[in-house]
Structure 1
Amino acid sequence: MRLLPLLALPFLVTAAMATDGNNDRGPGLTGERQGDTTTYRAMDFDKVAFGLAGDVDVRVGPAWSVRATGPAAAFANLRIVRENGTLEIAHRYRNQDTNRDLERQVHFVVTLPRIAGAMLGGSGRMTVDRVRGSAFEATVGGSGSLSLGTIEVDRATVAIGGSGGITARGSARSLAVSVGGSGSLQAPDLRAASARVSTAGSGIVRATVDGPATVSVVGSGQIDLGRNSRVVRSRA
Structure 2
Amino acid sequence: MSTTEARPSLTVDRLASGVAVLTINRPEARNAVDLATARTISRALDTLDNDPNCRVIVLTGAGGHFSAGMDLKAFRATGERPVDESRGPFGLVRKPPVTPIIAAVEGAAVGGGFEIALSCDLIVAAEDAVFGLPEVQRGLTAAGGGLLRLPSRIPYHLAMEAVLTGRRLTARWCAENGLINRIAQPGRALDTAMELAEEISRNGPLAVRASKEVIVESGNWATGEAFERQEVIVDPVRRSSDAREGAAAFAEKRPPEWTGR
**TM-score, normalization: structure 1?**
0.30
Q: Which is helix-richer, 1 or 2?
A: 2
